[in-house]
Structure 1
Amino acid sequence: MEKIAWVTDSTAYLDEMLSNHPDVYSIPMVVYFEEEEFLDGVTLSLEDFYTKLEASNTPPKTSQPSVGAFVELYNKLAESYDRIISVHLSSHLSGTVSSSTQAGELVDIPVHTIDSKVISFPLSAMVKRGIEAQEAGKSYENIIEILNDLSTKCDIYVLIGSLEQLHRSGRMSGVQKLLGSLLQIKPIIQIKDGTLDVAEKVRTHKKALLKIVDFLEVAQANSTIKELFVLHGTNVEEADALVDNLRGKYPDIPINRFPLSTAIAVHAGVNTIGISWYNE
């Protein structure tokens, strides 16, 4: 049985199963604070990021891992593995998939790069499903087919924590930001097929969360949802309250909260909250 290495990037939250798995590797995104460069999760923890964010007058920036960083990792993995399956955040939101694909052409080990079309824990969940398929004895071709199919089935609805940071990241025009601030409009961002879109514009935070739950109810009526992911920034108490609320509505579905990564919080804001699921 061939040995497969699993690679993802630091936008994926590694839970206990993934962080303790001997065949799972995470390549860090690059975060810039003014003139300083940090490796997400390596030289910059999530807690340190939030501390620096409060103290900095200049908004941080992010960059995908370089082709060279991938080549270095893949060459190292080639010493112990027969094949690499590399699953990364949406290619519409980052060049990480491109870096991995280019690196795969420069190394001697087979590398299969998967565009997850998602972010955060939904990306982690996809890696877990791939590992489950491997442990069930599926071929690598079948595993890749399963992952590509999953990439078309995820819904992510996010209530953006900071219009200012979304504007700085180039995802919202200055006029939209100004109108949103003046009218207290809360844009609900949907990530569908890997791209960002405004699913709804709601006047209050409370109404926006209720609207996201409405989207969930429609999805639940039309498909099978095996697990719900509540995504959050520093607003842990709000996330816990949302988890409790959803558990009351859906007692048969596992529901847990997961922090957004540093690279996502840079663009969305620290008080971002959202819900995600796979329609199966």
Structure 2
Amino acid sequence: MGERIAWVTDSSGCLDVELEQNPDVYVVPLIVMINGKEYLDGVDIHPEEMHRMMKEDKVAPKTSQPAVGTFLDLFKKLAGEYDRIIAIHLSSRLSGTYSSSLQAAQMLDFPIMVIDSLLISYPMTFLIKKMMAYINEGLSLEEARGKLERFRDSNELYVLIGSLEQLHRSGRMSATSFILGSMLNIKPIISIEKGALEIREKTRNEKRAKTKIFSLFKAAADRGTIKECYLLYGSAEEQTKGLKTQIHDLYPDMSVSAYPIGTAVGVHAGDKTLGISWFSDRSCI
């Protein structure tokens, strides 16, 4: 019988049904702060409610990583039930969550592997499934980790910012850029580069922005390097309908699924945010 492995992640991701029903997967909530009050992400507050409060109260929520002690308590509990722990977390360049988890792991005399996904939302969570698969194939932990990191680095992720106002309120855009962007109807597209958010394009309206996002996906799809993609949304899956239709019309065999973008980006980007992501390293599939 193989090792019993506990899998730990954080609430910035999005578990699909398979992972939700897996009793060996544990989620540590990030902290969302609104008007001086703290909420546990996914426990006390969910994306829909957070976006409603942002819109109605004109507030700028902030997120904070779980405390080292929170991870330590969980790791101690799991150490009594499992042979090993593998934790995969939100990009370390967007949150201190990975750091908190790593510090807690170093406090225990127990085999704990902590991995920096350098990603967000479902693409981050998908790495858990890949790591599980690699281990089930019989790879050693270090071989599996190396393969996972190569697969991770093949990810592309693009996000159409839903609200310049929210980007400004959250401190990610200067007042001058916000005013000029609003006047010119600028719709920025951001990407994740080595774990950090970077502005990839600045388009003049939403239609052009969506066209650009689709063209980025199409270029990759036409190379034949991807077989599935993930659509990411701010507060309502309905936002992905048009993009999903475009993809299915051109690529009927492409697997397309939709997931909330999560609080880590949602607090900055707004409820009308739309994103697309895929992995293109077929050698690691």
Could you tell me the TM-score, scaled by structure 1's length?
A: 0.95
**1:161-180 aligned within 5 A:** 161-180=162-181
Deviates more, 1:262-271 or 1:8-17: 262-271
SS of equivalent to 2:13: coil
* Aligned-partner Cα distance in 1 for 2:224–2:82: 37
Q: Which residue number corresponds to residue 97 of structure 2?
A: 96
* Aligned-partner Cα distance in 1 for 2:104–2:224: 37
**1:1-280 aligned within 5 A:** 1-222=2-223, 224-280=225-281
Letter paired with 1:67: V
1:213 Cα deviation from its structure 2 partner: 1.1
1:139 Cα deviation from its structure 2 partner: 2.2
* Aligned-partner Cα distance in 1 for 2:102–2:251: 39
1:241 Cα deviation from its structure 2 partner: 2.1
* Aligned-partner Cα distance in 1 for 2:222–2:52: 42
Contact kept in structure 2, 1:40 and 1:263, CA below 8 Å? no
Deviates more, 1:145-154 or 1:270-279: 145-154
* Aligned-partner Cα distance in 1 for 2:85–2:21: 18
Letter paired with 2:157: I
Contact kept in structure 2, 1:154 and 1:192, CA below 8 Å? no
C-alpha offsets along residues 32-76 of structure 1, whole Å, 9 cap, x if unaligned?
A: 111211110112233332343344343211101111111111111
Contact kept in structure 1, 2:47 and 2:263, CA below 8 Å? yes
Contact kept in structure 1, 2:231 and 2:277, CA below 8 Å? yes
C-alpha offsets along residues 135-176 of structure 1, whole Å, 9 cap, x if unaligned?
A: 223222222112211221111100001112222333222222
* Aligned-partner Cα distance in 1 for 2:227–2:77: 36
1:272 Cα deviation from its structure 2 partner: 0.1
Letter paired with 1:44: I
Could you tell me the TM-score, scaled by structure 2's length?
A: 0.93
C-alpha offsets along residues 176-233 of structure 1, whole Å, 9 cap, x if unaligned?
A: 2111111001101011211111111111101101101111122224461121000001
* Aligned-partner Cα distance in 2 for 1:76–1:126: 24
SS of equivalent to 1:94: coil
Contact kept in structure 1, 2:123 and 2:277, CA below 8 Å? yes
Deviates more, 1:217-226 or 1:248-257: 217-226
* Aligned-partner Cα distance in 1 for 2:223–2:116: 25
Contact kept in structure 2, 1:240 and 1:257, CA below 8 Å? no
Count of equivalent residues: 280
Contact kept in structure 1, 2:94 and 2:264, CA below 8 Å? no
Letter paired with 1:142: E
Letter paired with 2:191: Q
Letter paired with 1:267: H
* Aligned-partner Cα distance in 2 for 1:70–1:108: 14
Letter paired with 2:115: I
Identity of counterpart residues, as a percentage? 45
1:113 Cα deviation from its structure 2 partner: 1.2
Q: Which runs of 5+ in 2 are unaligned?
A: none
* Aligned-partner Cα distance in 2 for 1:205–1:230: 17
* Aligned-partner Cα distance in 1 for 2:199–2:48: 29
Deviates more, 1:201-210 or 1:163-172: 163-172
* Aligned-partner Cα distance in 1 for 2:171–2:223: 34
